[in-house]
Amino acid sequence: MSRFWSPTVQNLTPYVPGEQPQMQRLVKLNTNESPYGPSPKALAAINSQNNADLRLYPDPEGLALKKAIAHLHGLEPNQVFLGNGSDEVLAHVFLGLLKHQDAVLFPDITYSFYPVYCKLFGIEYQTIPLGPEFEIRTADYIKPNGGIIFPNPNAPTGKALPRSEIEALLSENKNSVVVIDEAYVDYGTASCIPLLHGAACPENLLVVHTLSKSRALAGLRVGFAVGHPDLIAGLERVKNSFNSYPLGRLAQAGAIAAIEDQAHLLETTNKVMQTRKRLVEELKALGFEILPSSANFILTHHPQRAGEDLYQALRERGIIVRHFKSPRIADYLRITIGTDEQSNELVMALKDITNNL
């Protein structure tokens, strides 16, 4: 600790990202990256960029990318906000739309960056306990608040809400912004983006997406939010007070091509969902209990094995999964859905571990 740190820095507990180990042989199932590569069209678009143009700043508005996103989702470009990954988008959302007198509400088990943002920006917050089956109960959020945010499907549980429940929440909560973080929506959940179409677009709904998961571009760092033009205008004010050029030329080119390649998206997400179904069945046969997942990961535990022990035993075998020490899920593992080959290796390892622990 330095005496030059501000009180804000002294009191921060930073977000801890998933480990990126540098091991020779590794089955990496801990950070929800796609097991398949990005769209070949995205790679071609990146490679086709004129290197000489890298001396020039990129389009600060990212208008071509905004148009591609808007066209895909039936929106207008002024309903789209861009950021350097969805984490940067969320940071601007917390500062620009969720910092009010009343506390922002989010689940007690959810994306652990949310409380970090609140502490960084001095935002009051209240966590709402998930139900006994780890479900988000929207009725629990009908109270005075400075905003509501949760992922759908939720992370790390993988459980999703139907769009109808979110519509009902919007109708009951009209005095603050409702932010739906749809990082994993492409793996079997109905998006809330259609609610933003036309004149009926709610003025208080914001939907956040990332290209890091289903689009397999985690290394490119592209995220976006869509919502009412007035919400987007507020986010643009924050962005242009922080970093007017968040997305480089290569990132914009690759993101446009990835957005336009729906066939690749459907092909790879279908593969993940098929592997997820098979993995769940095989783990149940080993005695594991698994929460229903609509994401590219599962949250699972073995009733007779400690989560920490399973995590360490897998790690010794070169298989990395995610273990959280939060009290309600301390015995659970979050396992990213990998390729069929990776899933086979995981199942064989867990079979050996559970037979010998």
**Residue with more model confidence, 295 or 18:** 295
**Short-list 290, 280, 284, CA closest to 333:** 290
Model pLDDT for residues 158-182, shown as the tens digit of each residue: 999 999 999 999 999 999 999 999 9
Residue 267 has pLDDT above 90, yes or no: yes
pLDDT digits (tens, 9 = 90+) for 55-108: 999 999 999 999 999 999 999 999 999 999 999 999 999 999 999 999 999 999
The pLDDT of residue 356: 77
Contacts of 192 (CB under 8 A, 6+ apart): 152, 163, 166, 180, 182, 205, 207
- Inform me whether the pLDDT recorded for 18 exceeds 70: no
Q: Compute the average pLDDT of residues 318-347.
A: 96
CA pair distance 13, 10, nearest whole angstrom = 9
Nearest to 150 by CA among 103, 183, 197: 183
Question: Which of 157-161, 264-268, 315-319 has the weakest average pLDDT?
Answer: 315-319
CA dihedral 38, 40, 41, 46 (to 10 degrees): 80
Interval 249-278 mean pLDDT = 98
Rg (CA), the chain: 21
pLDDT band at 22 (very low <50, low <70, confident <90, very high): low
3: buried, middle or exposed (CB in 10 Å: 19+, 13-18, 0-12)?
Answer: exposed
The per-residue pLDDT for 8 is: 82
pTM of the model: 0.94
CA-CA distance, 7 to 75, in Å (whole number)? 42
3 state SS of 105: strand
Mean predicted lDDT score pLDDT of the chain: 95
The DSSP code sequence of 289-332 is EE----SSEEEEEBTTB-HHHHHHHHHHTTEE-EE---GGGTT-
Averaged pLDDT, 331-349: 97
| Omega prior to 107 cis, within 30 of 0 | no
Task: Name the phi and psi angles at 105, rounded to 5.
Answer: -110, 135
Task: Give tens-digit pLDDT for 140-158.
Answer: 999 999 999 999 999 999 9
pLDDT for 41-66, tens place per residue? Answer: 999 999 999 888 999 999 999 999 99
Any alpha helices (H) in 74-130, and if so which ranges?
85-97, 113-121
